[in-house]
C-alpha cells in the first residue's frame, strides 16, 4: 500500500497481515501435496491441520468441523442447498428464508430454486424483523422439507449486529437449520458457535487480514451436512474435493490466530476511533445522518449519508485526496449502484451512503485527515447548491 494513501475500507478487504504473509512464504517452500502419504505430504497436511485448529479456535468450533473453501461465496453456495445428509440418510430442505440485507452470495439463494427463497424484512435500523421471521416459520409447509434461515451476524455495509441468539430460538422451535454469515464479525467481535446457536458459519480469510481466495464453512456437528458442491477426490473429509490451497489456508490460519489474540484490545481501540470519527463527522457536517447509530454495530464501521451529496461522488472525491472509502459493499465487480441495504431500511438508495471501515492500520491521524477532507467535500456541496 502506498504510504501517502489512507485505507479506510477494511470491510471490503483487510490488508494482508505480516504474520499471514510470513506463514504463506513458509508454506511456499513445501513441495508436498497434503493428500500424499510421504514425509513431504505429511508436512503439508500438518500445516493445513494447524490452520484448521486456528480458524476453529477463533469461533469456538471443533477443528474437524472446518471445511476450507475458495472463499465465503463458495461456502454460501455449498451450504445453501436443499439436499443434506444426516449420516447416510437424505434430508430435504424445502425453503430458504434470508434477511433483506444479506450479502448477494446469500440473497441469490445458493442452490435453491428462486421460488423457494423468501426475503424477510428488516426495520429502519437494518435489524431483522423477528415477528416477520416468526410468521414465515409458522407458515412453512412442513411436508416440503425443513426450513433453513440464513442471516449475517454483522452487516457488511452498516455494521449492524443481528440478534442471532433470538433468531436461533425461532429456528430451533421450527425444527430448522440456521446458517450464519460471520464474515464481517470474525476477529471484530467475540462470539462462538455455541453462543450463537448456529448450525453453520461462513468465514472469509481476506476480511481478517488473510489472503484472498480462501474461506471456510464450519458446521456445528459432523452428521448433518449439505451435499458436496465440488466433487472429485474427496478432500476435506469428503465435503469439498480438490487439492487444498495450502498457501491460502496457512495464511488464513495465521490471520485467525492474530485476530483471536488481539480481539479484545483491537475491539476497544477501534470503538474509540469510531466514536471520534462519528463525533467529528457531526461537527463538520451537522446534517450528516449516521445510519443505524442507535443499535449495536461493529466497532469499526460507520455508514453515513449526507443530504444533497451522492455517495459515489463523495467516494471519488476522497479517492482523489488519497483516501479509500466505499459507497457500499465490494461484491459487484466494481459496479456502483443502489444499495439494497439502504433500500431495505427504507432510506434513499439513490443517493446512497459512505461506508468508512477501519482496522489494524488505522490511527488518530488517519481519522483526522478523513475529517478534514469530509469538511472540504461538504463545503463544495454547499457551493454547488448555492
pLDDT digits (tens, 9 = 90+) for 246-255: 999 999 999 9
Q: Please check the confidence at residue 77 and state whether its pLDDT lies above 70.
A: yes
pLDDT in tens, 90-118: 999 999 999 999 999 999 999 999 999 99
Average pLDDT in the chain: 95
- Cα 183 to Cα 191: distance, rounded to the nearest angstrom: 12
**Beta strands 146-152 and 89-99: pairing type?**
parallel
Last residue of a domain, one of 215, 232, 261: 261
Same-domain check for residues 44 and 136: yes
pLDDT in tens, 284-343: 999 999 999 999 999 999 999 999 899 999 999 999 999 999 986 555 545 566 899 999
Q: What is the pLDDT of residue 349?
A: 78
Same-domain check for residues 11 and 28: no
Range of the domain at 125: 21-261
Let me know if residue 60 belongs to a domain. yes
Same-domain check for residues 238 and 285: no
Q: What is the pLDDT of residue 191?
A: 98
Q: Please check the confidence at residue 128 and state whether its pLDDT lies above 70.
A: yes
Same-domain check for residues 233 and 272: no
Let me know if residue 125 belongs to a domain. yes
Which CATH number do you get for residue 294?
3.90.1150.10
- The C-alpha cell of 133 is what? 421471521
Same-domain check for residues 50 and 173: yes
pLDDT, mean of residues 196-223: 97
pLDDT, mean of residues 231-235: 96
- pLDDT above 90 as % of the chain: 90
Q: What pLDDT band is residue 187 in, cutting at 50, 70 and 90?
A: very high
Same-domain check for residues 249 and 285: no
Q: What pLDDT band is residue 200 in, cutting at 50, 70 and 90?
A: very high
Which CATH number do you get for residue 85?
3.40.640.10
**Beta strands 89-99 and 301-305: pairing type?**
unpaired
pLDDT, mean of residues 115-128: 97
Same-domain check for residues 333 and 184: no
- Cα 26 to Cα 164: distance, rounded to the nearest angstrom: 38
Let me know if residue 165 belongs to a domain. yes
Q: Please check the confidence at residue 67 and state whether its pLDDT lies above 80.
A: yes
Interior/surface letters 170-203, b for 16+ CB within 10 angstroms, e for the rest = bbeebebbbbbbbbbbbbbbebebeebbbbbbbb
- Cα 87 to Cα 85: distance, rounded to the nearest angstrom: 6
Same-domain check for residues 212 and 91: yes
pTM of the prediction? 0.95
Residue with cell 450463537: 196
Catalytic positions are 331
Q: Which residues pair with 354 in a beta bridge?
A: 304
Q: 296 near 161, Cβ under 8 Å?
A: yes
Same-domain check for residues 10 and 94: no
**Beta strands 200-204 and 177-181: pairing type?**
parallel
Q: What is the pLDDT of residue 334?
A: 53
Same-domain check for residues 36 and 56: yes
Same-domain check for residues 91 and 203: yes
pLDDT, mean of residues 3-27: 96
- The C-alpha cell of 334 is what? 466494481
H/E/C letters for each residue in the chain? CCCCCEECECCCCCCCCHHHHHHHHHHHCCCCCCCCCCHHHHHHHHHHHHHHHHHHHHCCCCHHHEEEECCHHHHHHHHCCCEEEECCEEEEEEEEEEECCCCHHHHCCCCCCHHHEEEECECCCCCECHHHHHHHHHCCCHHHCEEEEEEECECCCCCEECCHHHHHHHHHHCCCEEEEECCCCCCCCCCCHHHHCCCEEEEECCCCCCCCCCEEEEECCCCEEECCCCCCCCCHHHCCCCCCCHHHHHHHHHHHHHHHHCHHHHHHHHHHHHHHHHHHHHHHCCCCEECCCCCCECCCEEEEEECCECHHHHHHHHHHCCEECECCCCCCCCCCCCCHHHHHCCCCCCCCCEEEECCCCCCHHHHHHHHHHHHHHHHHHHHHHC
Let me know if residue 272 belongs to a domain. yes
Q: What is the pLDDT of residue 386?
A: 52
Domain count, the chain: 2
Same-domain check for residues 36 and 53: yes
Q: What is the pLDDT of residue 333?
A: 41
Q: 221 near 185, Cβ under 8 Å?
A: no
Let me know if residue 1 belongs to a domain. no
pLDDT, mean of residues 6-20: 98
Last residue of a domain, one of 261, 286, 316: 261
Last residue of a domain, one of 228, 261, 294: 261
Let me know if residue 124 belongs to a domain. yes
Q: 66 near 218, Cβ under 8 Å?
A: yes
Amino acid at each position: 500500500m502506498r504510504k501517502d494513501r489512507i485505507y479506510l475500507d477494511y470491510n471490503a478487504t483487510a490488508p494482508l497481515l505480516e504474520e499471514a504473509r510470513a506463514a504463506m512464504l513458509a508454506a511456499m517452500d513445501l513441495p508436498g501435496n497434503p493428500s500424499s502419504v510421504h514425509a513431504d505430504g505429511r508436512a503439508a497436511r500438518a500445516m493445513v491441520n494447524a490452520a484448521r485448529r486456528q480458524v476453529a479456535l477463533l469461533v469456538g468450533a471443533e477443528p474437524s468441523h472446518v471445511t476450507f473453501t475458495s472463499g465465503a461465496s463458495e461456502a454460501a453456495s455449498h451450504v445453501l442447498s436443499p439436499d443434506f445428509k444426516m449420516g447416510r440418510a437424505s434430508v430435504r430442505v424445502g425453503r430458504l428464508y434470508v434477511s433483506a440485507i444479506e450479502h448477494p452470495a446469500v440473497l441469490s439463494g445458493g442452490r435453491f430454486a428462486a421460488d423457494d427463497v423468501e426475503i424477510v424484512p428488516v426495520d429502519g435500523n437494518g435489524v431483522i424483523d423477528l415477528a416477520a421471521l416468526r410468521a414465515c416459520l409458522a407458515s412453512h409447509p412442513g411436508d416440503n422439507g425443513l426450513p433453513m434461515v440464513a442471516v449475517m451476524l454483522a452487516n457488511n455495509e452498516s455494521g449492524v449486529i443481528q440478534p442471532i441468539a433470538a433468531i436461533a430460538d425461532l429456528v430451533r422451535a421450527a425444527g430448522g437449520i440456521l446458517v450464519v454469515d460471520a464474515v464481517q464479525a470474525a476477529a471484530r467481535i467475540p462470539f462462538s458457535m455455541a453462543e450463537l446457536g448456529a448450525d453453520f458459519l461462513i468465514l472469509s480469510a481476506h476480511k481478517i487480514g488473510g489472503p484472498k481466495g480462501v474461506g471456510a464453512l464450519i458446521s456445528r456437528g459432523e452428521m448433518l451436512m449439505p451435499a458436496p458442491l465440488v466433487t472429485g477426490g474427496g478432500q476435506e473429509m469428503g465435503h469439498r474435493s480438490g487439492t487444498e490451497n495450502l498457501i491460502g489456508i496457512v495464511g488464513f490460519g495465521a490471520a485467525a490466530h492474530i485476530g483471536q489474540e488481539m480481539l479484545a484490545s483491537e475491539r476497544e481501540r477501534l470503538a474509540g476511533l469510531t466514536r471520534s470519527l462519528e463525533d467529528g463527522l457531526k461537527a463538520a457536517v451537522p446534517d450528516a445522518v449516521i445510519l443505524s447509530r442507535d443499535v449495536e454495530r461493529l466497532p469499526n464501521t460507520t455508514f453515513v449519508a449526507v443530504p444533497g451529496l451522492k455517495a459515489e461522488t463523495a467516494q471519488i472525491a476522497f479517492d482523489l485526496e488519497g483516501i479509500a472509502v466505499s459507497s457500499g459493499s465490494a461484491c459487484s465487480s466494481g459496479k456502483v449502484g443502489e444499495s439494497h441495504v439502504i433500500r431495505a431500511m427504507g432510506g434513499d438508495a439513490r443517493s446512497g451512503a459512505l461506508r468508512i471501515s477501519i482496522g489494524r492500520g488505522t490511527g488518530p491521524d488517519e481519522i483526522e485527515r478523513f475529517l478534514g477532507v469530509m469538511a472540504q467535500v461538504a463545503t463544495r456541496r454547499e457551493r454547488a447548491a448555492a
